[in-house]
Each structure stands twice: as C-alpha cells, then as structure tokens.
Structure 1
Amino acid sequence: MQRFWIEKLNKSGYSVYGLDLQGHGESDGYQNLKLHIKDYDDYIYDLIDFIKRVKKSSILESETRSDTLDKEQIETFENLPIYLAGFSMGANIMLRAMELLNNTNDDLITKGSIKGLVSLSGMFSIKAVGSPDSFKYKYFFSPVMNLMSSIGPTDRISKSKKSYERCPYVNDLISFDKVRYDGTITKNLAYGLMKSVDTLNKNMDRIPKNIPILFIHSKTDNICTYEDALLFFNKLNNSNKEIYTLENMSHVITIEKGNEKPLNKMIEWIQYTQYKEEEKKKKKQKEKGKK
C-alpha cells in the first residue's frame, strides 16, 4: 500500500498496520529464500497471529492509560473496530483466514472484533493458469506444477515479460522498489498459490455471513480476472457484500493512475459500515431502555 493511501487513511481517523509476508519485503523467508514458503497456510496463520497482536496492543494501551481514561474510553480502546484490507494474494489470504477463524469459532469472529473486509484486486483465480474449475487448471497446470514443486521446490519459475503493458510506468515503480525482490517465486510457492484459489473457492461457505465485505476489482485486471472475482462475489452467501467495479485500470490499483478512486470508495464504505454499526447500537440501547 503506497504512502498516499496510508496518509489519507490516517487523516480519516484510521490507524494502519501492515504485514510483510514471509519472504516478502524485509521479512525472512523459509530456508532464507525470498518468495518461498514451506506451506501456503503459514501465510494465513501469520496473518491471524498479526491481527491478534494488534488487538492485544490496543488492550495493553488501555491498561497503561487506565489512570487517565474513564470507563467508556477504556472500553473503546479494548474494542476498537478492526477492518482488514488485502491486495491480490493478500485478499486471498485474508478471506481464507476468515474461513479458518469462523470454522474454529475464534473470538475474533464470535465477539465481533472484525467489522469489515476489503478485497483489492483479489486473487480468486490466476489468469495465466485459468479458473479453478477450468480444464487447463484441473488437468494440466495443477498436476504439472505439483510434480515440479515436488522435484525442485526451491527452483524458481521462469521470468515472464513485463506484466503491466496497460500501465508501463507501474513496471518502473516496481523495479525501483528497494525492498522488493527482483527474482521470481519458487515452484513450491507457485503451487501453493495455485492451490490457494481452489481451496478458497471450495470453502467459501465458511466465510462469516455477518461481516460486511467490499470487493474492488478492475474489469481489465490482467492478473486476476474480473470475471472470476464477480463469480466468487455472486456465489458468496453474504447479505452485506458489495462489489465496486473499476474501468480502465489493470491489477495494481493501489499505485496506478486513478488509484484515489478505490481509496475513496474504501474509506466511504468503512465510514458507512461504522455508521450502520452505531445505529444498530443505538437501537439496542433504546429497546433496552424500554424494558
């Protein structure tokens, strides 16, 4: 997420916490390798641990400041609403984490700590290998990559041509990123990514039905197709879902020209979900007062 996004979120009253996944950015990778993972689920458990650490930090802050805060302020600190936003693979990891947390009745779900989810160019399929239900995915790419990852898990996939022909300057921005690894992913991570879209789709009924979800996706996404994002959205059993469709953008909607549109939509959506939450609380208090 670029600095402009963080600054605008801060100005709108939101603290922003970011996580470098294993082998990404400045984080160490499995076997000291960049863009490599032992098991894709490690990403998911890292995210769950990170969310709990952030929540715990707000509770600890309320305890250290208990002498200067009243009861209502302490409760506010201890129950700060959490909104999760994930970009591309991050959205896949975020939603898979929700499936696992909901399946185990974790406090983060049962106590309503997580108030909303935002998928930015979410990875519900990978255009190069097809959607999880396609013939080429099931009977060619998946078995071939499974075999290749078994033979050489740390070997790296071949480098493709520049990814962002629609927005060529995005390639330049990525190449100048000092903390970004310039090489390609390992075959073990490649297979993990392929499996992840299938796993997420097969378990989508476990995604909590009561947590609002916003999908932001471009019709001309060249990495994770809009068609598969829309299919996932339509199949998802959630009455609080919304999809916001972008035109004339590619995949990296957080840095492309016009990136203020998805950012503004995300902030407006979060504010609206907060408003609805407050209205719900007021209604409950009124009903309580009548008894």
Structure 2
Amino acid sequence: MESDVLPPVLRQTLDDYVDHLTRDRDVSEHTVRAYRGDLFDLFAHLQRLGADDLSGLTVRSLRSWLANQQTRGRARGTLQRRTAAVRVFGRWAVQTGRLTEDPAAGLRSPKRVRSLPPTLESADAAAMLAEALTVAAEGGGPSADRDVAILELLYATGIRVSELCGLDLGDLAEGRQTVRVLGKGNKQRTVPYGNPAARALNAWLAVRGQLAVPEAGAAVFVGDRGKRIDQRVVRRIVHRALRVVDGAPDLGPHGLRHAMATHLLEGGADLRSVQELLGHASLATTQIYTHVSDARLRAAFQQAHPRA
C-alpha cells in the first residue's frame, strides 16, 4: 500500500482516520478515497519537510502544502476540497487527543469559480433518444432495449450514474412511474418519470431475463455479461448515443443530469423542486442551473434582438 512509505506514526494516523470516516461518519466510498488521498499527500509533504509525526502539522506547513498544490497546477475545486479535508481531519485529531490545537481551523478555502456546465439542447436530447429507439426497433437485441431505458431514465430523472447502477427492481414503482433512489449520504428520495421512460423500462424488463445471470440479483440494469451494470459501461452508452447527433456536445451521464435540470427550469419548474429531484443537499448547488438558463436566454436575446 502507498501508506507504507510513510513514517509509522503518520501511517497509523492515516489508517485510523480512514477507519473513522468509514465507521463513524458513514460517508461514501468516493469521499473516503478522496480524503484518504488528500491526507496521504499532506503527510508525504510533512515527511519531505522532515516531520515523522503530527508535530510537523502547523499552519505554516499547511500553507506550504497548499501552495505546493497550486504550483503543481491543481484546480481550484481540488484545492477547496483538500482544504475541507484537512479541516475535518484537524477537528478529529483534536477530539482524539492527537493534537492539542487545530492548525487547520484558520485556513481559508480558495474561492471556487463555478464554470457553467455544457448543456444539451432539448432537440438534441430528442434526437439522441429517437436514434436509440430506432436501433432497438431494428433488432438491436436486449442490449439495445437496455440502452434506450438507461438513456430515457437518466434524462427523465436526472439521477446520478452511481444511483442508476445501484437500482434494484424493488425500487421501481411502475404503477406510479416513480423510482426510489439511494443518493449521497445514504439519503433516499423518490423521483418521477414520464411515459417515454416508462415504455422504455417496460420494454427492457420484458427482455432483461435474456441477459441477466443469477449473480445480477435484483439489479434493474445488467451489462452484456449479465451482471449488475458498471458505471463505465453506462458512460460508454451515453457517449456513443450522443456521437450520432450532429452538433451535440460530447457528454456523459452527468451531462444528461445537467440537461434535465436546465430544461426543467426553462420550462418553469421552481428551484426547490429541482433541488429535491436532483438530491442536492444545498440549494446553492442547484442554483448553477439558473445561471445556465440565464446564459442561454442572454445568448438568444443577443442573437435575435435588433438592439441587443
């Protein structure tokens, strides 16, 4: 393991902290991996400075580490996450008696510049789905029906690719056309979907048994080998579907999530409802889509108005 290159005290501290994140904080595997990597990088920096335990963790060494990150070209979002990771670690280290004072308490996060995500026009989304339906209708087999259902459900619900891959048959309430999703922080939410997605799901479920193997369990979507589908496979499906649409941006599943949110707001949905549908903990996260809508309206105005 990479942590074996650290001095024993720092290695044990890192292992204990990862256990704390996994056991006590109930954070996602992705967050655990990210925070572990952040702390490993920090501890390696402390080692380069000559420290073999947490006595080297000071405001000065933290600022030195973050400055080094910036010099290496880390994005603002990465620096912001690493600052947050160190703050969480600092509080834990004080609570567990590993530090008497928290040197991370006074750190300031770099201001994150939120860029507007590329968006898919509603006409492009329709063209993508129509092409996928054509492939299925022309005898694409069970995998083609699966691909249509995946594309329809991602665009209809805006669920994350991890949430889609984790769906079980019991999460579908077909009569009500809703899907129960287990999101970040193990928070459940129920998301509705429309008739096109319902038809696509029914078509896929009717042939699912032709692909699924016993190891798939109750997974809604399975890969070509019959087991629960992998996120990488879903990304390939979305990229492939969008490549056949002239002028469409090369987006993955998250791009369909962006499109769903943007098109809902453009259609008059309120921000709180979109927040709930997407499973955002903070309304501020959802507000990025209002900026996308505003930018598109501004572009339309500048293109069409004689006095723009």
User: Which interval holds the TM-score relative to the shorter structure?
Assistant: under 0.3
Q: State the TM-score, normalizing by the size of structure 2.
A: 0.27
Q: State the TM-score, normalizing by the size of structure 1.
A: 0.28
Query: Higher helix fraction: Structure 1 or Structure 2?
Result: 2
Considering Cα pairs closer than 8 Å and 6+ residues apart, tell me whether 1 or 2 has the greater RCO. 1
Larger radius of gyration between Structure 1 and Structure 2: 2
